[in-house]
């Protein structure tokens, strides 16, 4: 394999992520562990999004499941080999990796279009809150508050992503806005491109925004009960994404939509507030 064809190291792939700053502030051992977990999540996500036909994607996810079973059974971990030391050191649970694969399977089986709210919540649990359940032991967050933080912060981040990526997802034939919100807004179409251009889209986004804000509030309440040093990364993630949500609400959802990004000074301010102490 020549240098040009070698895969980028986990830190390099993480650098383009919205979570990079939150990972970067961690102590080295935790930071490197998070890079490896993030890289694994990205690899599985790439299978679900870009892994060929639905049958091909499902087959590859099946191979990931086989390697996961082998990892926890003491066999050759295959695709999970890079995270195997992290699993052992931090006691990461098999069921949380399995939930992540279940979420990616939802994407691989068929393009998601206007799921009902219960299905959307299940999807958010699998693709986002499960990642929180894997991350919290690395951050040093345990006990009864750990699953609650993963539950609320994961859902807050994922719902914000859904609102941010409406156009990008429409280009992939996907529509994650819940059926109930579309019906309440008077949008009958389930075609992602048509919904993205619909004049009532903003109304359909309102309950999703409200739901995300509630999860941010619940996550903040959990964080307030935890040692501040252990919550630097999740606090920074939550603060950055809450600003994204604020920016999208201020911008509105009428097309054409410019992509909202926190400014450099805003990020520096959030880093000083949440990342240093």
**What DSSP string describes 172-216?**
TT-B-S-HHHHHHTT-----HHHHHT-TTHHHHHHHHHHHHHHHH
**Can you name the residues that pair with 175 across neighbouring β-strands?**
113
Show pLDDT as tens, one digit a residue, over the chain (277 residues).
Answer: 333 333 445 554 545 556 777 888 899 999 999 999 999 999 999 999 987 999 999 999 999 999 999 999 999 999 999 999 999 999 999 999 999 999 999 999 999 999 999 999 999 999 999 999 999 999 999 999 999 999 999 999 999 999 999 999 999 999 999 999 999 999 999 999 999 999 999 999 999 999 999 999 999 999 999 999 999 999 999 999 999 999 999 999 999 999 888 777 766 676 666 656 5
The whole-model pTM stands at 0.91
């Amino acid at each position: 394999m020549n240098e040009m064809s070698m895969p980028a190291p986990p830190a390099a792939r993480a650098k383009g992520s919205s979570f990079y700053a939150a990972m970067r502030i961690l102590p080295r051992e935790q930071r490197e562990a998070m890079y490896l977990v993030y890289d694994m999540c990205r690899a599985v996500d790439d299978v679900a999004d870009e892994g060929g036909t639905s049958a091909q994607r499902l087959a590859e996810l099946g191979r990931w499941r086989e390697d996961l079973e082998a990892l926890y059974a003491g066999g050759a971990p295959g695709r999970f080999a890079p995270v195997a030391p992290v699993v052992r050191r931090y006691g990461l649970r098999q069921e949380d990796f399995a939930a992540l694969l279940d979420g990616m399977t939802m994407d691989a089986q068929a393009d998601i279009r206007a799921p009902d709210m219960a299905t959307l919540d299940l999807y958010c649990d699998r693709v986002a809150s499960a990642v929180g359940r894997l991350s919290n032991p690395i951050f040093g967050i345990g006990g009864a508050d750990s699953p609650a933080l993963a539950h609320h912060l994961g859902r807050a981040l994922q719902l914000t992503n859904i609102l941010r990526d409406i156009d990008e997802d429409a280009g992939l034939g996907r529509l994650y806005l819940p059926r109930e919100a579309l019906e309440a807004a008077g949008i009958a179409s389930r075609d992602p491109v048509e919904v993205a251009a619909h004049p009532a889209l903003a109304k359909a986004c309102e309950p999703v925004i409200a739901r995300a804000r509630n999860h941010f509030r619940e996550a903040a309440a959990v964080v307030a009960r935890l040692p501040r040093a252990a919550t630097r990364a999740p606090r920074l993630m939550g603060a950055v994404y809450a600003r994204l949500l604020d920016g999208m609400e201020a911008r509105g959802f009428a097309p054409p939509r410019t992509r909202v990004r926190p400014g450099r000074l805003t990020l520096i301010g959030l880093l000083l507030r949440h990342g240093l102490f």
